[in-house]
């Protein structure tokens, strides 16, 4: 009995997982995504975002070496004329500096292919300042 309980406890992490089922619009197709999928990085939590001098500036967490090249920026035009923006970290910051306020990373609107004046929505989660 104890062996079966120990085996169940040891196997539980191997059998667990998070599945997201999406069936938008009543279509017959089913999309299943496993949360452990490392091919698609999760959304980066941001502290703030602003557009200033034709640049998108986003404050993110850093261990001292984070810069704009560590991120992929996904843009999706929306029917209402706006552009949705998603920021994903593609390279981890393995430095050991203390950067409690995070760092600003930025891209020009031209680099992103966004016309000045275009409404934009950042879809990343936001961490409020302490």
Residue 87 lies in a domain: yes
**52 plus 111 within the same structural domain:** yes
CA distance 104 to 96: 18
In this prediction, residue 98 carries a pLDDT of 87
**52 plus 15 within the same structural domain:** no
Q: Are 63 and 94 in contact (CB under 8 A)?
A: yes
Q: How far is CA 90 from CA 44, 64, 74, in A?
A: 10, 16, 12
pLDDT tens, position by position, 65-99:
999 999 999 999 999 999 999 999 999 999 999 89
Residue 129 lies in a domain: no
pTM score above 0.95: no
**58 plus 118 within the same structural domain:** yes
Q: Are 16 and 8 in contact (CB under 8 A)?
A: no
In this prediction, residue 6 carries a pLDDT of 53
**30 plus 57 within the same structural domain:** no
Intervals of the chain under pLDDT 50: 15-24, 27-37
In this prediction, residue 42 carries a pLDDT of 83
Task: Tell me the residue range of the domain where 24 lies.
Answer: 2-34
**28 plus 54 within the same structural domain:** no
């Amino acid at each position: 009995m104890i062996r079966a309980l120990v085996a169940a406890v040891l196997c539980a992490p191997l059998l667990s997982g998070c599945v997201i089922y999406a069936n938008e619009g009543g279509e017959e197709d089913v999309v299943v995504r496993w949360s452990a999928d490392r091919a698609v990085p999760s959304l980066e939590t941001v502290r703030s975002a602003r557009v200033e001098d034709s640049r998108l500036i986003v404050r993110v967490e850093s261990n001292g070496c984070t810069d704009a090249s560590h991120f992929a920026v996904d843009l999706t035009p929306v029917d209402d004329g706006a552009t949705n923006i998603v920021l994903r970290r593609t390279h981890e910051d393995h430095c050991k500096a203390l950067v409690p306020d995070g760092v600003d990373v930025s891209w020009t609107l031209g680099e992103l292919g966004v016309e000045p004046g275009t409404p934009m929505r950042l879809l990343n989660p936001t961490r409020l300042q302490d």
